[in-house]
């Protein structure tokens, strides 16, 4: 059984766990330590698409007049400005391709944060964001919600840049990370494939899948 099969985490409003069998099966393959880099990347791209499908489920629609080969009709199209996808470097990039395949016209931003290994606190080293963030739904991409410190800092940055409608897409989360993020940003809903047991002394997720960046890029 996955660590948290429920679709809603008790006490964690705004957290949605996608317990779809395809998501859970692919996640198990990703967790397995013997899964090599290539399949790991492909699985992350596939799961991202399944999660992105859920995180975009309530996007607003408008009507557009089109002509089918048979007759004119008022057809539904996404309303408002294009979405923005923001990847938290570097692991977020592993989710970007999958999300872009689903939402090809999205604008794309990047936030560079690393975790100080001593303090586990985030340090920002890069930021490049689309304009008009205030008018776009922003989907923040990063597979691992561990302590929540980097994530909360990334959301701070997006809000300073004007973003008002932020959603978070994760592969794995921890109860600690969810509590930290929801304490700082209760307005940001989180969609994840699993809520794992917790963290080890170095801030790695247990049972987790190891270092997501290293596994997707073949580094150590």
* Site of interaction with ligand URA (CB under 6 A): 91, 144, 146, 204-205, 208, 211-213
Q: Active site includes 211? A: yes
Which of 127, 156, 154, 128 minimizes the C-alpha distance to 142?
154
What is the smallest separation between the CB atom of 192 and ligand URA, expressed in angstroms? Answer: 13
User: Is residue 64 marked as binding?
Assistant: no
| Residue 205: CB minimum distance to ligand URA, A | 4
Radius of gyration, CA atoms only, the chain: 18
Place of tokens 């990847």: 87
Catalytic residue among 214, 215, 219, 220: 214
E strands present in 93-189: 107-115, 122-128, 137-141, 144-145, 165-169, 172-173
Of 113 and 137, the one with the shorter C-beta distance to ligand URA is 113
In the complex with ligand URA, the residue whose CB is nearer, 156 or 211, is 211
194 marked as binding residue: no
Question: Which residue carries 């990703």 as its tokens?
Answer: 30
Other Cβ atoms closer than 10 A to 90: 18
Decide whether 78 or 120 has the Cβ nearer to ligand URA: 120
User: From the candidates 119, 167, 192, 196, which is the catalytic residue?
Assistant: 119
In degrees and rounded to multiples of 5, residue 114 shows phi and psi of -125, 160
142 is in an annotated binding site: yes
Binding-site residue numbers for uracil are 205, 210-212
Active site amino acids:
115, 119, 211, 214
């Amino acid at each position: 059984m996955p660590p948290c099969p429920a679709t809603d985490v008790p006490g964690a409003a705004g957290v949605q766990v996608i317990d779809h069998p395809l998501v859970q099966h692919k996640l198990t393959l990703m967790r397995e330590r013997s899964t090599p880099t290539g399949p790991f990347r492909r699985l992350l791209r596939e799961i991202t698409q399944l999660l992105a499908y859920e995180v975009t489920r309530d996007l607003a629609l408008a009507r557009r007049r089109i002509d089918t080969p048979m007759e004119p009709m008022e057809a539904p199209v996404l309303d408002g400005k294009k979405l923005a996808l923001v990847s938290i470097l570097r692991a977020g990039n592993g989710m970007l391709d999958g999300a872009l395949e689903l939402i090809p016209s999205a604008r794309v931003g990047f936030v560079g944060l690393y975790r100080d290994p001593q303090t586990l606190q985030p340090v920002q080293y890069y930021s490049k964001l689309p304009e008009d963030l205030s008018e776009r739904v922003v989907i923040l991409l990063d597979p691992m919600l561990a302590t929540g410190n980097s994530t909360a800092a990334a959301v701070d940055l997006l809000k300073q840049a004007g973003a008002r409608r932020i959603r978070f897409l994760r592969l794995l989360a921890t109860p600690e990370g969810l509590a930290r993020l929801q304490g700082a940003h209760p307005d940001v809903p989180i969609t994840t494939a699993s809520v794992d047991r917790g963290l080890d002394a170095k801030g790695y997720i247990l049972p987790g899948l190891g270092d997501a960046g290293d596994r997707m890029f073949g580094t150590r």
